[in-house]
Amino acid sequence: MATLRQLRTRVASISNIQRVTNAMQMVAAAKMRRAQDAIEAARPYAQQLDAVLGNLQKSIDPEENPLFRERSAERVALVVVTADRGLCGAFNGSICRRVQNELDEYAGKNVELVTVGRKGYNYFRNRDVSIDTNYGEVFRQLEFAKAAEIAQGLTARFIGGEIDRVLLVFSEFRSVAQQIPVVQQLLPILPKQEEGDAERDVDYIFEPSPEALLDTLVPRHVNFQVWRALLEVNAGFFAAQMTAMDNATKNAGELLDELTREMNKVRQSSITLELMDIIGGAEAVA
Amino acid sequence: MAAFKLEIVTPEKTIYSGQVRHVQAPGSEGSFGVLSGHVPFLTSLSIGLLRIDEDGGGQVDMAVSGGFAQVASQGVTVLAETAERGDQIDVERARSARERAEGRLGDTSSGEVDAARAQVALARAVNRLKVSGQI
């Protein structure tokens, strides 16, 4: 059995750790709420972008645009979006595993990675796969310009014929308890299923031509898809961290309860022992 | 004068939403004005000044850097990658952006793509400074 002193140090260190995990949980909760707000704030833009695309689709075939053109996927780029930091359970690991699945799927093809976020980069750095570009420190200050930069790099290489297909692998924020790794095709853009909306056809005046409008619209659509992935991962990371830290705090509490009980037992038996000694001594004197 | 609804959205947030009487926007084919009852109209925007005459009588100037404007019967929607109110523009940042872009343009060793990018960056910075009344 451990000595009283050993138990005391363990209790002290565990309650220190518990204080840290508890604080981290609260910070993650606050940041998650802000990240969720950012997802909400991006929604009107997405809806309007879809609306404009829908209006254009009525006058021209979007497949006129090179970013819609499908070709055989010989050279594939996987964009891996993970968080920069850990202490968030299986969050980053499950994204990396999803990427690994995709790598197996495209085995034999020319596959390269573009990593966003430090964790994904560290995971794949020493593995047998080529990393074309790494964008680190994106999440410290999340802004749209970063997403646009990443998307524009990929779009330019797609148009230049360097890559035939671009897939985004990230984690979707379904709820606080659920973040699901998903794979989404970024390029070529998959044409939207025509929804049979009964919206009456409005005759828009297009300026410049619908074709030219589509050419400026489509890259923005791509930029926005990358932005959405960043926002989802950002919110998912804080949710996962909050859950992980909540568990850690609870576990520390259980451990503390157990140790305190044991400590009391040891203390009690040592007091009993001392009392026996005193009584025995007193009897001997009497 | 009849009012209509104006909404300016960016990927980061909704910048403006309210009832307005008149909007002047920098269309890619030239600046245009919208009053209530305008025909349905869809255009791309260039870098420039967007001036709003609010229903309450106030006037708001904004710096936008490209995007789209959609005029429909329900109102006007502006989709911009960035939009800032004139009184909230970070003047220092715009100034240093302008200097950086000018430096890059002066550097003849940089490629065509870089030069084109610097041109755009310069236009954005100059536009921000103009809208905030600095030049």
Q: Domain ranges in chain A?
A: 22-244
CB contact under 8 A, A144 and B11: yes
Q: Taking the model in full, what pTM does it have?
A: 0.86
What chain B holds in terms of domains, given with CATH numbers, is 4-86 (2.60.15.10), 90-131 (1.20.5)
Q: What is the ipTM, given to two decimal places?
A: 0.81
Q: Is A96 assigned a catalytic role? A: no
pLDDT attached to residue A193: 61
User: Average pLDDT of chain A?
Assistant: 89
Q: Is the pLDDT of residue A198 over 50?
A: no
Q: Which of A243-257, B38-52, B121-135 has the highest mean pLDDT?
A: A243-257
* Contact between chains at A144 and B12 (C-beta distance less than 8 A): yes
Is residue B31 within 8 angstroms of chain A, CB to CB?
A: no
Question: Could you tell me which residue, A179 or B105, shows the higher pLDDT?
Answer: A179
* pLDDT, tens only, A125-179: 988 888 888 998 889 888 898 999 999 999 999 999 899 999 999 999 999 989 9
CB pairs A-B closer than 8 Å: 80
Identify which has the larger pLDDT, A203 or A155: A155
For domain A22-244, the question of CATH label 3.40.50.150 is answered with no
The answer to whether A207 contacts B27, with C-beta atoms less than 8 Å apart, is yes
B27 touches chain A (CB under 8 A): yes
Show residues of chain A in contact with B70, CB under 8 Å: 48, 51-52, 55
Residues of chain A with Cβ-Cβ distance to B14 below 8 Å are 41, 44-45
Chain B closest-CA separation from residue A202 CA (Å)? 7
The confidence score (pLDDT) of residue A1 equals 60
Predicted pLDDT of residue A215: 87
DSSP assignment of A167-232, as one string? EEEEEEEEETTEEEEEEEEEESPPPPP-----PPPP-PEEES-HHHHHHHHHHHHHHHHHHHHHHH
Degrees (nearest 5) of the Cα angle B56, B62, B67? 120
At A194, the pLDDT band (50, 70, 90 cuts) reads low
